[in-house]
Amino acid sequence: MSLYRRSSPYLGLGLILMFGFFTKAAYADIEIGKPAPEFELYDQQMRKHTLKDYADKWVVLYFYPKDDTPGCTVEACTFRDDYHRIRALDAEILGVSLDSVESHAQFVTAQHLPFPLLSDPDGVVAAAYGSLLALGPVKLARRHTIIIDKRGRIARIYRRVDPKRHSTQIISDLQELQSKIKPSQ
């Protein structure tokens, strides 16, 4: 027992240092105003989705760690509850995690989600958007959200997300972003 006590602070420090290393590398990948990385992923019904499919629409691309976990369920359900308000702003919601298509299908059914959850099993898209967390063999998507404008450019990046309030924040920010656009754009 005493050996565990002596080594546990070092283990915690090691995890913090590893987390910090991956955080710095991940954030450098995308910038506001730059083109959003293209993707090709399958949803819970095995339908393929690409960024090009959403041309002329705003896209709320939200990354989350794991289906059917407390924070991820809260976040998905707040997006579900605000789905019609977000769609009224000409925006589509796409959830992305490294979970399988089958896991997404169960999660969508259990929570009655009206939007697609995209499976990124290798974490390629999460990495392209700076949302991949890899700790040894364990890989997860970080809880991040990206708003992509109608031209396919990054409009807003959220690196710190409160699952309970995030949907409301997205609605407010979509309204703000859209109010800044001139009719000719």
* pLDDT tens-digit map of 55-72: 999 999 999 999 999 999
pLDDT score recorded for residue 135 = 86
Encoded tokens for 46: 């095995």
CB under 8 Å to 161, separation ≥6 — which residues?
A: 62, 75, 143, 144, 145
pLDDT score recorded for residue 9 = 41
Q: Which residue has the higher pLDDT, 25 or 77?
A: 77
pLDDT score recorded for residue 185 = 52
Q: Which pairs count as long-range contacts for 141-144, CB under 8 Å and 24+ apart, including other chains?
A: 141/63, 141/64, 141/65, 141/96, 141/97, 141/98, 142/26, 142/63, 142/65, 143/63, 143/64, 143/65, 143/71, 143/72, 143/75, 144/62, 144/63
Is the CB of residue 155 less than 8 Å from the CB of residue 177?
yes
Catalytic residues: 72
Q: What is the pLDDT of residues 111-131, one digit of tens each?
A: 999 999 999 999 999 999 999
Domains of the chain: 2-179 (3.40.30.10)
Task: Tell me which residue of 79, 63, 87 sits closest to 140, measured CA to CA.
Answer: 63
The pLDDT of 150-172, averaged and rounded, is: 96
